[in-house]
Structure formats: structure tokens, C-alpha cells
């Protein structure tokens, strides 16, 4: 692969060209993207047939597993650079296969200088050991360095491989973007359902407060005592304060607004959304613990179900 290094400048220029292509200028020119995707492309030329396969699944970070043919192992770092320039998160399995034609089949050369040197040494040994077996030419060929692979110009196949990988990454991102659009719609629907549920709970707060007042008054009456209105009001205020869920509903609404902004953004969204799921779950738990009626408890459970549904989808967002 000596000629690979001689064409390094041209190769580096090609890599910069691919990296600066519109498909790689911004990692997030689309809305949210899924971490799941697949792409397969082929390219043919006088050097043979190249096949590139890319598979991605969800992962906390970007992890690339790369399989290359022996002729193109020098491209390991360059392909990782292309992947890192287009993807931010996900486990990537990248496979590049090369089916060579006769024009790129390995050719070999004899190191005649080394053959002459080895042969001369064998003749010396034969003079010292006349009874030794005669020299076998195959034994000479097995000597390290006697046979060497002839230099080949791999620059055409290298350029084709980089172009094929770049096109495959673009196709992969198109699929991830389509899946991301579906996930975005699922999340938006769940957020809308949560807003409806939170609005219903908020609308029932005056009714719940009145019900608490009635219940406390009835209990005092059952005890045969005459309620002290001033003291009763104080107790009711304290009781209502402990059971007040206005702040939780306000924070829940705020988180939902934040989620809507994130899924419409072109920035990485997965980790931020995952954090907001924790915050939403915290508000739903507090709402449940402060609940004073069956309907509010049921609403808290509905919120938790919706949050869990979103969390499952968010695990797959880049």
C-alpha cells in the first residue's frame, strides 16, 4: 500500500470535501432524529464492487464498530471521522466489503537480491555438509522477504470507498430523520394529552376545595361540637395549602412547553428530553401524593402512563 501514502494529499482533500458537503455541514439540519437506522449502497468500478452497510441502534454515546477489507484498512480513521461528523449518538455497525476484479488482484515480485544472498549462503552450507539434501527452490520462496506484494495504485478504490460511505451515511440519516419525525409526532400527541389532563385537574380545584370544607364541617358536626368559624378558616387554609397542586401543575405546563420547543429544535434532543421526563414524573408523583379525590388520583396515574410512553420513545432519540 505504498502508493496510498503518495496519494495522501489528494485523499485528504477528498475527505475534507465530503466533510464539508451540505449533508455534513450541520449534524442537525433536521428536527429530532431516531438513533435507529439502516443503509446499504453499492458502487462498481474497474477495481471491483464495493458494498457499504450501516446499522445504528440507540446508545448513550457514539460508538462505532468498523469492519473493512484488508486493502482499505488504512481508511479506518477517515471513515470514523465521517461518521463522527454526521452522527452524535448511537451504536454504529459499519461494514465495507470489496469484491475485487482481476485488475486489482494481488501481484507478487521476487526480491532477487535476497534470493541471491540466501542461495549463496546455502552453497556455503553445502560445502560444509556435502551430504546435505539439495536446495529446494520452494524453501527459498518461503524465506521472509523473498516474495513481496507489488505496489498497487489503490487511490481510485479509496476515493470510491469514501464517496460510498458518505452517501451511505446520508441515506442512513434520511431514515433516522423519518423515524425521528414519527417519534416527534408521538411525543407531541402525548404532550397534548397531558395538557388536557392537567387542565381538567386545574378546573376541578375549586370544587375540591369546597368538598374539603364540607367534609371538615360535617366531621365537626358529627362530633357534636360547634365550629369556631375563625379557627375553622385557619385550619382550612392550612389544609388547602398542604394539598395545593397549583405549583405542580404550573411546572408541568412549563415542562411541556419546553418539550415542544426541544422537539422543534435542530439541536440534540435525546438527553434533554430524558431529563424532562424525570421532572414530569416528579410532578405527577407529587400530584398523586396530594390528591384528595379519586378523579385527581386517576389523572395522576394517566399522567404517569403518558410520561412512561414518552420515555420509551425518547430512549431512541439522538
For 34, which DSSP code?
A: B
Q: Tell me the pLDDT tens digit for each residue of 279-298.
A: 999 999 998 888 777 888 89
Count of CB atoms within 10 A of residue 259's CB? 24
Task: Locate 161 and state its grid cell.
Answer: 470507498
Q: Are 269 and 32 in contact (CB under 8 A)?
A: yes
Average of per-residue pLDDT values in the chain? 81
Residues 170 and 264 in one domain: no
Residues 35 and 127 in one domain: no
Task: Locate 175 and state its grid cell.
Answer: 431514515
Give the range of the structural domain holding residue 125, as residue numbers without chain letter. 108-148
Residues 143 and 95 in one domain: no
Asked if residue 221 has pLDDT above 60, the reply is: yes
Which stretch of 95-99, 139-143, 237-241 has the lowest confidence by average pLDDT? Answer: 237-241
Q: Are 49 and 284 in contact (CB under 8 A)?
A: no
Residues 157 and 225 in one domain: no
* Nearest in space to 170 (alpha carbons), one of 52, 253, 71, 265: 52
Task: Locate 85 and state its grid cell.
Answer: 461528523
In the prediction, which pLDDT does 217 show? 67
Residues 10 and 31 in one domain: yes
Q: Tell me the pLDDT tens digit for each residue of 138-192.
A: 777 777 877 766 566 778 899 999 999 999 999 999 999 999 999 999 999 999 9
pLDDT band at 227 (very low <50, low <70, confident <90, very high): low
Q: Where does the chain have alpha helices with state H?
A: 2-6, 8-19, 22-25, 76-86, 112-128, 137-141, 155-203, 205-222, 229-243, 246-263, 270-290, 294-314
Q: Tell me the pLDDT tens digit for each residue of 105-144.
A: 556 677 778 878 888 887 888 777 777 677 777 777 777 8
Residues 206 and 282 in one domain: yes
- Beta bridge partners, 93, equal 55, 65
Which stretch of 48-52, 137-141, 259-263 has the lowest confidence by average pLDDT? Answer: 137-141
In the prediction, which pLDDT does 288 show? 87
Average pLDDT over residues 37-53: 93
Average pLDDT over residues 215-227: 65
Task: Give CA torsion, residues 207, 209, 211, 216, to 10 deg.
Answer: -170
pLDDT band at 196 (very low <50, low <70, confident <90, very high): very high
Residues 210 and 281 in one domain: yes
Residues 154 and 210 in one domain: no
Into how many domains does the chain fold? 3
Residues 142 and 153 in one domain: no
In the prediction, which pLDDT does 147 show? 75
- Residue with more model confidence, 150 or 42: 42
Residues 100 and 136 in one domain: no
Residues 87 and 223 in one domain: no
Residues 171 and 251 in one domain: no
In the prediction, which pLDDT does 47 show? 84
In the prediction, which pLDDT does 30 show? 57
Amino acid at each position: 500500500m505504498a502508493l496510498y501514502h503518495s496519494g495522501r494529499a489528494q485523499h485528504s482533500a477528498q475527505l475534507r470535501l465530503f466533510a464539508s458537503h451540505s449533508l455534513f455541514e450541520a449534524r442537525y439540519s433536521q428536527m429530532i432524529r431516531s438513533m435507529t437506522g439502516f443503509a446499504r449502497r453499492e458502487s462498481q468500478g474497474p477495481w471491483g464492487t464495493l458494498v457499504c452497510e450501516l446499522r445504528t441502534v440507540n446508545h448513550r454515546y457514539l460508538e462505532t464498530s468498523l469492519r473493512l477489507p484488508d486493502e482499505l484498512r488504512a481508511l479506518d480513521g477517515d471513515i470514523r471521522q465521517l461518521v463522527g461528523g454526521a452522527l452524535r449518538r448511537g451504536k454504529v455497525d459499519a461494514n465495507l466489503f470489496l469484491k475485487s476484479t482481476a485488475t486489482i488482484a494481488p501481484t507478487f515480485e521476487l526480491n532477487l537480491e535476497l534470493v541471491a544472498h540466501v542461495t549463496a549462503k546455502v552453497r556455503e552450507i553445502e560445502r560444509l555438509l556435502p551430504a546435505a539434501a539439495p536446495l529446494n527452490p520452494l524453501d527459498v520462496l518461503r524465506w521472509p522477504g523473498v516474495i513481496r506484494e507489488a505496489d498497487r495504485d489503490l487511490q481510485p478504490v479509496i476515493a470510491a470507498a469514501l464517496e460510498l460511505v458518505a452517501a451511505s451515511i446520508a441515506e442512513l440519516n434520511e431514515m433516522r430523520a423519518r423515524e425521528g419525525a414519527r417519534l416527534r409526532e408521538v411525543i407531541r400527541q402525548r404532550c397534548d394529552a397531558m395538557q388536557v389532563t392537567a387542565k381538567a385537574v386545574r378546573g376541578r380545584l375549586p370544587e375540591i376545595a369546597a368538598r374539603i370544607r364540607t367534609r371538615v364541617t360535617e366531621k365537626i358536626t358529627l362530633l357534636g361540637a360547634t365550629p369556631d368559624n375563625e379557627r375553622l378558616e385557619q385550619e382550612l387554609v392550612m389544609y388547602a395549602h398542604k394539598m395545593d397542586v397549583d405549583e405542580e401543575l404550573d411546572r408541568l405546563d412549563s415542562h411541556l412547553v419546553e418539550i415542544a420547543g426541544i422537539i422543534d429544535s435542530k439541536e440534540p434532543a435525546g438527553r434533554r428530553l430524558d431529563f424532562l421526563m424525570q421532572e414530569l414524573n416528579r410532578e405527577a408523583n407529587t400530584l398523586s401524593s396530594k390528591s384528595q379525590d379519586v378523579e385527581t388520583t386517576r389523572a395522576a396515574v394517566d399522567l404517569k402512563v403518558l410520561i412512561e410512553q414518552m420515555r420509551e420513545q425518547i430512549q431512541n432519540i439522538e
